[in-house]
Structure 1
C-alpha cells in the first residue's frame, strides 16, 4: 500500500530546494502533516505551484542549509524621537551658517543637503534607520540655524529712507 502523501526532493541548487508533494485524492490532513514532517526543520516555503492534472503540487523551499541573510525591512521606520537636534548639533550648525553671508546661507544649506541626501537614501535602503535619523537630525539642525540667521538678518536690516519728493 502506498502512502496517501509522498514527499520527494526533486532538485537542490545552492540554497533552494524543490520538493514535490504527491497527494492522493483521498488523503486526509494527517497524511499531509506526516509527509511534510519529513522535510528538514527550518525550511521556509516560498512558493507553491499546483499541477493541472491530478493532485500534485510543487513546493519551492529554502532549506535549513541555506545561509540566513537578514534582509532589511522593506519600509524601515525612523524613530521620530531621534529626529530632534541636540544642542551640540544645533551649535555646530550655527557655526557653519554664521560665517556665511545672507545669500551664502542658502548655498551652505543647499550644498549640505545635497551631500547628505544620498547618505540618507542609502541608509534607509540598507535598513540603517539610526544613521538615517542622525543625518536627518543634522539637516534639521542646519535648517533651524539657517532660519535663525535669516530672521536675525531681517530684524537688523535697516530700511532705506524714501527718496525726497521730486528727486529721481
Structure 2
C-alpha cells in the first residue's frame, strides 16, 4: 500500500513538534514522515534556519536532539521567496511552541502585529491540518466583555495533540 502524501510544511512542523516534545528522536520515529533520511535532514536544516535552534545527531544515542528549545530570530536570506518561507515557518514554529489554549488570536496578534488576519487564518488552517483543532467559539461568554472593548464576544480555542497522534504520523 502506498504512503499518503503530506505537504512539505506539514512534514516540517511534524518534525519540529516531535523534537519539541521528545528529548531525543530516532530515525524510526521520523519514518512515518518520510522514507528518505536526506529529506528529514533538509527539514531539520530549515527548522534551524527558521528558528535558529540547535538540532544535532547524537551518535551514541543514535537520535536527533534539540539542544536549545528557545526560538530566536530567523536567519536572514537574500532570496525573497526563501525569506517568505522562512518567515512563515518561524511563525508556525513559534505557534507550535507558545500558543495558549485560549485566546489564540490575541496571542497571535500580539506576537505578530505586522501580519494580517487572513495570514493568521491561513496559519491556523495549517496547524489544523496537524490536528491542533484551533477553532472559533462564538457562544462562549467572555467575562468582562464591554461593548466598547475591541475583544469580540467569542474567542479562539485550541487543543494540542500528542506528538505521536499528529495526522502526519499516522501511516496508511
Could you state the TM-score of these two structures normalised by the residue count of structure 2?
0.20
Does 1 or 2 have the higher relative contact order (CA < 8 Å, sep 6+)?
2
Structure with higher Rg: it is 1
Could you state the TM-score of these two structures normalised by the residue count of structure 1?
0.20
Q: Which has the higher strand share?
A: 1
